Amino acid sequence: MTRIASSERTAAVLVGLEGLGLVVLVGWQLVALVSGDTDSVSSAIALLVLTAIGAAAVVAFAVAIARDASWGRSGGVVTQLLILAVALGALTGQYAHPLIALALAAPAVLGLILLIAGSRAAARRRGDLPTN
Q: Quick: pLDDT tens for 10-59.
A: 999 999 999 999 999 999 999 999 999 889 999 999 999 999 999 999 99
Phi, psi of 5 (to 5 degrees): -70, 160
CA distance 132 to 125: 13
pLDDT value at residue 125: 83
pLDDT value at residue 86: 95
Q: For the packed helices 98-126 and 70-91, what is the interaxial angle rounded to 10 degrees?
A: 160
- pTM, two decimal places: 0.89
What is the distance of C-alpha 97 from the center of its chain? 20
pLDDT value at residue 54: 97
pLDDT value at residue 108: 97
